[in-house]
Every structure is written in structure tokens, then in C-alpha cells.
Structure 1
Amino acid sequence: MSEYVIRFLVGGAVVSAFSMLGDVLKPKSFAGLFGAAPSVALATLGIAIHQHGAVYAGAQSHSMMVGAIALVVYSILVCQLLMRAGMRALPATIVSIVVWLGAAFGLWAIAGGQA
């Protein structure tokens, strides 16, 4: 079975599970939040464990956590620039992408380049 077929099946099953969880929780907007990124991450980590072992998947999971923290920094900055500074969307996102890259690579360097 191809890796893509396995990723499709595992990802679809996990998306369905997270969507059911999100449907039970309030507010209903959690359904979309729980449906996408966690399912793709879990499918990717499952395949990485199967193909490369737990150590490799652990390194990938650290990278995912660093990326998530950097995304939070990016999201907060975009919101602040749009709402408080009154910037337009394109300049706010361009400035924030630079900050996101700095946060991601900075956290990666702090982690010793092992994230």
C-alpha cells in the first residue's frame, strides 16, 4: 500500500474523530480547529514512527511544537497590527511572516537545532 493511501486513510479517520469531538464541544467553531492540523500531524507522526522509528518521530514532534509556538506569535502579532495599529492586511502579514520566521528559527536554535 502506498504511503499516500495510508496517509489518506489514517488522516481521514483522525479527521473524523476530531470532528466528532469538536461537534460535542462548545462553541461549534472548535470542530474546524480540531479537524485539520491535529489529524495531519498524527498521521505524519504515525508514518514516521513506522518508517523511521520513534527517535526520528520525536524530532519531528519537537519541530511541530516549535512551529506551533511560532504560529501563535505570528497570529497574535497579526491581530495586534490589524486591530490596534490599524494596518492593512497585506503589510501586517508580511511584517508578521518575518517575525514568524525569526521566532521559529530562534526557538529551533534555542532547542539546540534538534527540534
Structure 2
Amino acid sequence: MSEYVIRFLVGGVVVSAFAMLGDLLRPKSFAGLFGAAPSVALATLGMAVNAHGTKYAGVQSFSMMAGAVALAAYSIVVCQLLIRARLRALPATALALVVWFTVAFGLWSIGGGSS
């Protein structure tokens, strides 16, 4: 239970720091970019290093980066399917999920899986 409280507190502090950084940047649309995800990832990695060591945290950080690349590929494909192919939202997202899984698990297997 205390791990969740620590993650909540550290995540909150880092979210606030990233929100202040986002307020300083132009355009204001960057503010959302520095929201919850980076701070929760940093808190989680810090706790992973403390609890399991650096090798485990390295695997976790690689998984986070692979997920981010897969999300970018998914987003690009969804946009293309919605705008160019004029698909409706449900079929476009369903098709793009295949891309997300392919990229995410492809990068994960290249990176050595869960080793």
C-alpha cells in the first residue's frame, strides 16, 4: 500500500513540475505533452530501481519507450485512416490496433523480451 502512496506523491510533484514547464513553453498545446505520463513513468522507474535494481528498471524503461513508439505509429495510422481513407472511428481504431500490437511486440521481442 505504501508503494502506491509514494508513487502518488512523487507522481504529483513531478506532474506539477512538468505543468509549470508546460506553462512556460509556447505554444500552449505543449502543456498537455508534459502532463501525467512522463511523471508517472519517472516515479515508477525510480521505485523500480529502489525495489528491484537497475537491470529491472532498464527493462521497464525499454518497454516504456517501445510503447511510446508503438503509440506514435498507432496515432499516425489512425489519422491516415480517418482523413485519407475516410473510415469511421471504430474501424480505423480497430485496424490501427493491429499496427500498435505489431510495433509494440516487435520492438519488445527485438529488445530481448522480459529478460
Band the TM-score falls in, shorter-chain normalisation: over 0.9
The corresponding residue for 2:67 is: 67
Consecutive unaligned residues in structure 1, runs of 5 or more: none
Identity of paired residues, percent?
Answer: 73
TM-score by length of 1: 0.95
Matched residues in 2 for 1:25 and 1:11: separation? 21
In structure 1, what is the Cα distance between the partners aligned to 2:2 and 2:109? 35
Alignment correspondent of 2:100: 100
Q: Using the TM superposition, give the Cα deviation of residue 112 of structure 1 relative to its aligned residue in structure 2, in angstroms.
A: 2.6
Matched with 2:16 is 16
Q: TM-score, normalised by structure 2?
A: 0.95
Secondary structure of 2:85's counterpart equals coil
Alpha-carbon distance in structure 1 between the residues aligned to 2:112 and 2:47: 25
Tell me, what secondary structure is at the counterpart of 1:55? helix
Q: CA deviation at 1:27?
A: 1.0
Secondary structure at the aligned position of 1:63 is classed as helix
- 1:4 corresponds in structure 2 to 4
Question: How far is the alpha carbon of 1:99 from its aligned partner?
Answer: 1.1
SS of structure 2 residue aligned to 1:69: helix
| Matched residue SS, 1:50 | helix
Q: CA deviation at 1:45?
A: 0.3
Moved runs in structure 1, 4+ residues, more than 3 A? none
Q: What is the alpha-carbon root mean square deviation over aligned residues?
A: 1.3
How far did residue 54 of structure 1 move? 1.0
Match of 1:34 in 2: 34
